[in-house]
Structure 1
Amino acid sequence: MAEKDINKVLGLEARFDCELINTQGGSTRHLLIDVEARAKEGHRTERRPLNLALVIDVSTSMRGSRLANAKKAAVQLIESLSEKDYLSVVSFGRDVQVHFSGLEMNRSNRELAARIVSGLDHRMYTNLSSGWLEGAACVAATMDSVKDLHSHVILLSDGYANVGILDSNELTEHARQLRLREVYTSTVGIGNDYCSTLLRQLA
């Protein structure tokens, strides 16, 4: 495919997290690349409504900038949803809290969801498996009542679980069973030292 044809199909934007670097060395910069798939002329189709569960780690290890960044990312996602989409929000520390499940994302509900997420505070311990599975249960419940949805669990966490299911084989099997039901998981690692091993097992 020629470069001019690629540009018609994909939109690419790259930017660094900071414009300046430390001339003495020892600094780390992050490059963010946004890739947007564009429909070809004459082939634009309306996307399927989304059925999402945002599962947010509010454990002690997420306190401070990590939780702030997770909440910021979640709010940005909420603001991008349309009135045809459905959203559940779950947070977890030691316990799991379902803030709402299968809510239609009209304007007032988007504002409500953003306020709830922005108000999250940290709690003790990290019951990641229970939070993730509760988010999947919310998505599955919406699938039972509304058809033809694209269903997805989005987990925002540093990946350091210390209670709940910790066995990697068991977590991988849960993820496989969910995919068979067309419930998919994406994980967003929060912080520079997040545990990629556990998060990869769920995605």
Structure 2
Amino acid sequence: MKPAPRILFATIVLLAGVISSAAFAKPNPIVKQIARGTVGLEAQISHGYLPQNATTEVYATIDMRAHSVKLATRAPMNISLVIDRSQSMQGERFEQAKAASKRLVEMLDERDRLSIVSYGTDVTLEVPSMIVNPANRAKILAVVAGLQVNGWTNLSGGYQMGLAQVAAHKNGETINRVILMSDGHANQGVTSADGLAQLARAGLETGVSLSTMGFGLDYNEDLMTRMAIDGAGNYYFVEKDEALAAIFAQEVSGLSSTVARNARVIIDLARGVELLGLHGFTYRTKANSITVPLAEFHARQGKDILLKLSARTSTEELAPIVDIRLLYDDVASGKSVTVKAALRAVSTLDAALVEESVNASVIARIQQVEIAQSLKTAMSKYEAGEVEGAVAIIEEQRTKTRNARAKYDLDDASFERVDQEMSQASSNIQAAPAASSAGKRLRKENSARSYEIQKDSAKF
């Protein structure tokens, strides 16, 4: 039986209303996404709404945290220890370096491989890569005990030989790391920070990460931090020689608690979005895709990426920004894992809505990274003798951060503490010549502080 005309008309009107509301439903921005796993990911963008038909600066944060996972067995380590034996190491410093090296050897076992390279003017393979079983351990310790200082500082040659040893023995199960120490300036082989960073980056592309340790007050901190960043490892400033053994223990302890290997982030930029900057990590680009190699994650380790982007919107309301994939090999399960996040803004003609949609969490991270960058820039000016310029950079950043805190209600108490750190840095710059021991210490402390803030927001 046919429905009554009135009922049929009502049905058509109802369906039309459903279709109409679906067609004209306002899209919602996605300003934050969380993906869980052994290494979790939290991605955010600075603005949920963007001006329509305009180009706007947008920031994105990618916060990655490794959980503490109970492992049936830890991953085997494949390490090369590269020791500076140049003439400047003479005396107690070299004895402490040898003692620290012995401690590292004693922390390894038959699951692990170790090679030892020493460098002065020349480079020597003191111990070719070998399994650290009891018999080999005794041989390695004897070699370390017999090391002698001589020559200049062929840092690049030492690194390249250590890299070759690790690369020759890496496999799908090993944690592959070169540990490079120095107390001076590279003056043989490749000597520029750019050139050495490029070597570290090339090593990382082969699957071998790099940690650097600078000790004393006379090494080139810019060079050592650059190599650690481009090698996706760690950087340590070791002022006191007797602290070196504890630093070695910290490094090996972290490697032994690795929960994820071969980690990398792939960031795909949406149409109309361009990369203006990526802070704290080395990366490579291809078309609209950015790859950030991250090497390993040990338990409870965090790594944070800040992206500065330019986003061009159109009359379309939905404005995709980035698609993010974090890939890694899970040590516990033995499986390859991919976690994903997608961030989307919405374009609008409502200027007030744009202002109201600002994500204060991202603004806070921007301030942290800008503080880190200002410290690094100020230390460079200080080293060049530009005391007033160095102080001005720090004070301008303090003012900028205070204004941002007031505008966006950033009430994190850590900002107060860091503001005091910056105030003290300004005072210290004016009190001590850059070439003095106090000045060298100040530069290295603040360079190390800048490095750790840019790598991990939890270190702020």
1:44 is aligned to 2:33? no
Deviations 1:63-92 (A, max 9, x none): 112211111111100000011100001001
SS at match of 1:54: strand
Find the aligned partners of 2:182 and 2:164 in 1 and give their Cα distance: 18
1:125 Cα deviation from its structure 2 partner: 0.8
Cross-structure match for 2:199: 174
One-letter code aligned to 1:165: V
1:195 is aligned to 2:220? yes
Find the aligned partners of 1:74 and 1:126 in 2 and give their Cα distance: 19
- Identical columns (%): 40
Deviations 1:112-160 (A, max 9, x none): 11111121000111111101111001111112xx542111001121142
Q: 2:81 aligns with which of 40, 54, 58?
A: 54
Distance 1:50 1:127, change over 3 A: same
SS at match of 1:165: coil
One-letter code aligned to 2:221: S
Cross-structure match for 2:188: 163
Deviations 1:10-62 (A, max 9, x none): xxxxxxxxxxxxxxxxxxxxxxxxxxx9956xx33311100000100000011
1:126 is aligned to 2:153? yes
Find the aligned partners of 2:99 and 2:91 in 1 and give their Cα distance: 12
Cross-structure match for 2:106: 79
Cross-structure match for 1:150: 175
Cross-structure match for 2:337: none
> TM-score when scaled to structure 1?
0.75
Find the aligned partners of 2:194 and 2:220 in 1 and give their Cα distance: 16
One-letter code aligned to 1:140: A
One-letter code aligned to 1:194: Y
Distance 1:38 1:137, change over 3 A: same
Distance 1:115 1:38, change over 3 A: farther
Report if the CA contact (8 A) 2:82-2:178 is conserved.
yes
Find the aligned partners of 1:183 and 1:129 in 2 and give their Cα distance: 15
Find the aligned partners of 1:131 and 1:97 in 2 and give their Cα distance: 8
1:169 Cα deviation from its structure 2 partner: 1.5
Q: 1:102 aligns with which of 111, 129, 149?
A: 129
One-letter code aligned to 1:65: E
**Number of residues of Structure 1 aligned to a counterpart in Structure 2:** 163
Find the aligned partners of 2:169 and 2:184 in 1 and give their Cα distance: 26
Give ranges in structure 2 of 5+ residues lacking alignment.
1-65, 229-460
Runs of 4+ in 1 over 4 A off after TM superposition: 37-40
Cross-structure match for 1:90: 117
More strand by proportion, 1 or 2? 2
More helix by proportion, 1 or 2? 2
Report if the CA contact (8 A) 1:86-1:104 is conserved.
yes
Which is greater in Rg? 2
Find the aligned partners of 1:55 and 1:201 in 2 and give their Cα distance: 17
